[in-house]
Chains A and B, each alone.
Chain A
Amino acid sequence: MEQLMEDLKRQIIEALNLKHLKPEDIGDEQPLFVEGLGLDSIDALELIVLLQQHYSIKMANPQDGPQIFKSVKTIAEYIRANQTT
């Protein structure tokens, strides 16, 4: 789980062009949107693409996005629960 969260932080920084951040700047449970990292709706779409590209996970219901993308930890938990390989 720790390794997965580290990988996710690096992938999020790269996919979302957060060049002002380092992986260690992102807390495991830090909110990603609004008051946390300040991500926006376009970033949310990029996170969906990231799940598909890196983990072959297609989100069945985009309405679940706010819960899944709450923090790096919630994304990691979602990947663990949905990854088939």
Chain B
Amino acid sequence: MAYITQYCRIQNRMLLRQGSVIYSNLAGDLDTFLDTALTALSIYYPKFYKMDRLSKLGFLAAEVLLRDLELMNRYSPQQVAVVLSNAHSSLDTDIRYFETTKTIASPALFVYTLANIVTGEICIRHGIKGENAFFISEEFDPQGMCEYVDLVLAAKKTKACVAGWVDVMGDQHDVFLYLVEKQGNKFSLDHSPAQLQKLYDLKYGTVDGRSQKTDH
């Protein structure tokens, strides 16, 4: 048995941890939200501005997810895995890169034309060196993700796994990142497809600029 010990969400330009809004910026576009979120979270990481939207979303979600957990003090780099998934792969950046090829192709965009680059950015930031995988599916697949993460955790060396859904296409974005650990705590939830679906389906809308949580 494994446990979901932390989860976070980015949707509708709102950043949430355990269901609470950490930061939101409803004015402007997704790019504005991403850059202002970094400042609001008091993170100094110049390389962030070079990342594509997919990596920025994954990076921010991982920052919020792992903040104050001292994960890398509890586990060795090889004991932490990363398993991510999405629907649009790196298509958002692929299209932007393709546009540059009509004049002079951008090397800086080219390096982000792979979905799993976001995994690399998270691993570099947090010093994670364990197993990793990236899956493409039409929608968040709690059954498939749960089975694969359980499989990764069944390996003796893996003790924890950063997992979830990081998807972006244009201004449309949807992020659900969670931490699964072999060892639970009093706040942890069972790692099961039903639990993942429940957490993913929590919807956050806005009413008069205020955040509102609605369960479905």
**38-54 of chain A: CB within 8 A of chain B:** 38, 42-43, 45-46, 49, 52-53
**Interface SS of B by simple majority:** helix
B35 closest partner in A (C-beta): A19
Beta-carbon contact of B108 and A53 below 8 Å? no
Contact of B107 among A18, A38, A45, A53 (CB under 8 A): A45
Beta-carbon contact of A16 and B50 below 8 Å? yes
Quick one: which of A43, A49, A53 has the most chain B CB within 10 A? A49
Beta-carbon contact of B108 and A46 below 8 Å? yes
**10-54 of chain A: CB within 8 A of chain B:** 16-20, 38, 42-43, 45-46, 49, 52-53
A-B contacts at CB below 8 angstroms, number: 29
Determine the distance from Cα of A49 to Cα of B111 in the docked complex, in whole angstroms: 15
Beta-carbon contact of B50 and A17 below 8 Å? yes
Determine the distance from Cα of A14 to Cα of B178 in the docked complex, in whole angstroms: 34
Chain B interfacial residues counted at CB < 8 A: 11
Residue numbers in B under 8 Å from A18 (CB-CB):
46, 49
Given contacts A17-B50, A18-B49, A20-B49, contact A42 B104 (CB under 8 A): no
Residue numbers in B under 8 Å from A17 (CB-CB):
49-50, 108
Determine the distance from Cα of A18 to Cα of B50 in the docked complex, in whole angstroms: 8
What are 18 residue pairs bridging A and B, where the CB atoms are less than 8 Å apart in the complex?
A16-B50, A16-B108, A17-B49, A18-B49, A19-B35, A19-B46, A19-B49, A20-B44, A38-B46, A42-B107, A42-B108, A43-B108, A45-B108, A46-B107, A46-B108, A49-B104, A49-B107, A53-B103
